[in-house]
Structure 1
Amino acid sequence: MAETLSRHGDGVARHEGYEIHVAGLLPGETGDVELDYVSRQRPRAHGTAIHRRNTHPGRRPAPCPHHGRCNGCPLMEMDLASQHELKRRELQREYGVEIDRLVALDGSGLRYRWSSKRVVYGEPGALVLGSYMRGTHNVADMSGCLVDHPDIVRCANELVARANELRVEPYDELGERGDLRYVWFKTDGRGQVLLTLITAEPRSPSIYTLSEHLQVPAGIAWGINSTRGNDLRGTSLRPLRGRQSLTMEIAGVEFHCGPLGFLQPNPAAIALAYHDLVHVPAGGLPHGRVAIDLYAGSGVTTALLRERYAEVYPCESFPESARQLGIEPELVEEFLARLLANPRQPAAKPDLVVANPPRGGLGPTVCTQLNQMHASRLHLMSCNPRSLREDLRRLTGPEGGYRLIQARAFDTLPQTAHIELIAWLVGK
């Protein structure tokens, strides 16, 4: 029987000392499983349910025809209410994270993604956009993706049609030959789409002709990935035509996002999380004059903090985002070390520190620095409950400088196991 859910959305069962991750099995369900892979390094196996012996009460037919081959929405066979209950239970059971509530938008949980990457595969005249099937470099078709914003679907459909008319050659990983390798779509939700085309070589035989035949994108950029790695962002970015940034709005804050800039896939849902990140759990504003914004990204939380605090100090390492903030790119470890080395400056004794680290979390070095800083309040945002658990252990343990007062979850990517978390801490 599947007992829990993996972060990829697979049911996790245990049998004869093995942890078995089973695609197509929900917690509480039992079934016959065909093993696809058995690890040699640890007692773990991966498989697929070929027959279910009982059915979760929240199970439903997946509305997407690609479900099963495409792994992007592993919970699509579960109604939204059951998805939310499952996520609440897994947070407590697997990670020991107690939340006051799970915040979710009303609606179907579809058509919400404003940013989407695709792998290009197929052959000239039969090019397809898709995604890697988990654990492989086989590509699943994602045409008409149900969680993508309609503007992205419209742009993707046009790209495929024009590329096939022009017989653009998709990149072949096994043969290490071909032209168009990846594409990246971003939309402002108001009809404007920014398209980034990634080719395998800087001398693309088709990139200029293809860009001239595309009418839907408001702007097109071109990047290169000539390595064996699967960097979907590309390098050596150059503009092809049209605008090279989108004017976006999240939580009432306007910002610009370029071809390589990070854009939250679900801005409407993430706006609720950003609001709570800079407020106290009950909804009020924290008191104080000085705030620090770590991993500031596009600057939304920095702008929200500046509405309340007299002095706000953002830190961001990605160059494009740092330019938007008007600061030099800097690693968080270096930023905090600089502040701690000069304890008399106001930023060294902040009233509030806000941090939204990447999936790996703050890590031991940043946690140690924050413990040394003794901020009055520390508000954390995390997309990974496992790394959040480790960060909280370092920050609230015997050597830590803080105590946890509350945590909250946000369903920002419906149909997936992904969850965003806010944790509110105060100084001991």
Structure 2
Amino acid sequence: MKPGDTITVMAKTLSRHGDGVAHHGDYEIHVGGLLPGETGDVELDYVSKQRPRAHGNAVRRRNTHPGRRAAPCSHHGRCNGCPLMEMDLSSQHELKRQELAREYDLEIDRLVVLEEGDGLHYRWSAKRVVDGEAGALVLGSYMRGTHNVADMSGCLVDHPDIVRCAQELVEQANAMRVEPYDELGEHGDLRYVWFKTDGRGQVLLTLITSEPTSPSVRALAERLTVPAGVAWGVNSTRGNDLRGTSLRPIRGSQSLTLDIAGVEFHCGPLGFLQPNPTAIAMAYHDLVHVPAGGVPHGRVALDLYAGAGVTTALLRERFAQVLPCESYPESARQLGIEPQLVEEFLARILGNPRGPARHPDLVVANPPRGGLGPTVCSQLNQLHGSRLHLMSCNPRSLRDDLNRLTGPDGAYRLIRTRAFDTLPQTAHIELVAWLVGK
């Protein structure tokens, strides 16, 4: 098998990038343009020499998935942000259920979705790469595997507030002939932008440059009328990390006031904001409840990876003492605690066998995509709390963590797992798992 060959295969699953995944002999074939169940003639454009994998595109489909639709977004095919957009929502939901069971051995009791909506205009937080040239600047995202940028103007999954702000930013930056940063040549001015909205017309905009000096950022900020506040960050590192540092306010409000699951909190320019707060509120609600809907209560609860403090506030309604742990400085400040790694936090608790936190009634954990990992799982097994509720955005890392927590050396038993469709049009899924001590 070599590039240029044409083979006929049937896709059985979808990759997280939205390619159909098929098999041909010993090879795994990733096919752009095929949905699960569709058979197509595929022209190969890449064959790996390190492992049995190849990539190609369908030049002809021999049958059609019943949920296939024309993608509503004109950018689809260049932008990689919504790989499932050629499937209707009900088919997306069924695919996600099947993938969780088949690929990760995660059986869910149900997939929770918003009762209303078309799966569009839900993102309250969006990052963009700045590309183009002075006078013809565009905001977009990297095409997979390249430094080419796909234009995302008028993005259909962004909240309308963000779309308005992005349109004005492009218009004013082009009028000023702001120079986009060239990633390959490592020169230029404006590099990334980050939009956040409260969903009620207030937008917080962070402009990110590669250098701590900029010929245009302050003047550009003064010309913008849509954002309620503008901040300036610097990211001089190589790679695709779009978060800036060395933050400085330029004008207006530097914080948004938001409400998730009935908890009010504030989010600054670099603070993490869930892209779909409406859907994530349902996951947070279930995270601090039991599967049937009851509310656990008791003396002590631990809130690991507490973020902006939504779960901490919800837990404080039912527990006499709630101890949050968060390593990101801005979020830790909102919680009124010092930034600390979960490993250090749990080590201190385990080192004090007579402390009130040594035998918690409930541990809640919402780790980043990499999951808890071996060290934290080992510490939680030593802690042996009465209940352990986990939230995860990565089914693979959740599966690995559950194996560590419920296996022969684990201290817990899995009760139930539930999924939440927080990012329609993508393969992303949020999961909540409920465990009890053995």
Please classify the TM superposition score into its range, dividing by the shorter chain length. Answer: over 0.9
Which amino acid counterpart does residue 407 of structure 2 have in structure 1?
G
Which amino acid counterpart does residue 352 of structure 1 have in structure 2?
L
Does residue 176 (structure 1) correspond to residue 186 (structure 2)? The answer is yes
1:239-261 per-position Cα deviation (integer Å, ceiling 9, x unaligned): 11111110111000000101111
Which amino acid counterpart does residue 135 of structure 1 have in structure 2?
G
- Tell me the equivalent position of 1:235: 245
- Tell me the equivalent position of 1:415: 425
In structure 1, list runs of 5 or more residues that go unmatched: none
- Tell me the equivalent position of 2:415: 405
Separation in structure 2 between the aligned mates of residue 334 and residue 48 of structure 1, nearest angstrom: 48
Which amino acid counterpart does residue 153 of structure 1 have in structure 2?
V
Which amino acid counterpart does residue 43 of structure 1 have in structure 2?
P
- Tell me the equivalent position of 1:63: 72
Does residue 291 (structure 1) correspond to residue 301 (structure 2)? The answer is yes
1:370-392 per-position Cα deviation (integer Å, ceiling 9, x unaligned): 00001000000010100111000
- Tell me the equivalent position of 1:258: 268
What is the aligned-residue RMSD (CA, Å)? 0.9
Identity %: 84
Which amino acid counterpart does residue 190 of structure 2 have in structure 1?
L
* C-alpha displacement of 1:24: 2.1
- Tell me the equivalent position of 1:313: 323
Separation in structure 2 between the aligned mates of residue 123 and residue 333 of structure 1, nearest angstrom: 46
- Tell me the equivalent position of 2:200: 190
| Other structure's SS at 2:376 match | helix
Separation in structure 1 between the aligned mates of residue 197 and residue 165 of structure 2, nearest angstrom: 10
Equivalent positions of 1:358-369 (< 5 A) are: 358-369=368-379
Does residue 83 (structure 1) correspond to residue 95 (structure 2)? The answer is no
- Tell me the equivalent position of 1:26: 35
Q: Residue 388 of structure 1 is aligned with which of 398, 409, 414?
A: 398
Separation in structure 1 between the aligned mates of residue 311 and residue 370 of structure 2, nearest angstrom: 20
Separation in structure 2 between the aligned mates of residue 34 and residue 265 of structure 1, nearest angstrom: 36
- Tell me the equivalent position of 2:311: 301
Does residue 340 (structure 1) correspond to residue 384 (structure 2)? The answer is no
Which amino acid counterpart does residue 226 of structure 2 have in structure 1?
V
Q: Residue 14 of structure 2 is aligned with which of 5, 24, 47?
A: 5
Name the stretch that deviates more: 57-66 or 15-24. Answer: 15-24
Separation in structure 2 between the aligned mates of residue 47 and residue 360 of structure 1, nearest angstrom: 29
| Other structure's SS at 2:133 match | coil
- Tell me the equivalent position of 1:47: 56
Separation in structure 1 between the aligned mates of residue 15 and residue 185 of structure 2, nearest angstrom: 34
- Tell me the equivalent position of 1:15: 24
Separation in structure 2 between the aligned mates of residue 190 and residue 281 of structure 1, nearest angstrom: 32
The TM-score normalised by the length of structure 1 is: 0.98
In structure 2, list runs of 5 or more residues that go unmatched: 1-9
1:287-307 per-position Cα deviation (integer Å, ceiling 9, x unaligned): 422100000000000000001
Which amino acid counterpart does residue 130 of structure 2 have in structure 1?
V
Does residue 104 (structure 1) correspond to residue 108 (structure 2)? The answer is no
Q: Residue 219 of structure 1 is aligned with which of 212, 224, 229?
A: 229
Separation in structure 2 between the aligned mates of residue 225 and residue 47 of structure 1, nearest angstrom: 35
Separation in structure 1 between the aligned mates of residue 46 and residue 129 of structure 2, nearest angstrom: 24
* C-alpha displacement of 1:315: 0.4
Aligned length: 428
Separation in structure 2 between the aligned mates of residue 137 and residue 195 of structure 1, nearest angstrom: 24
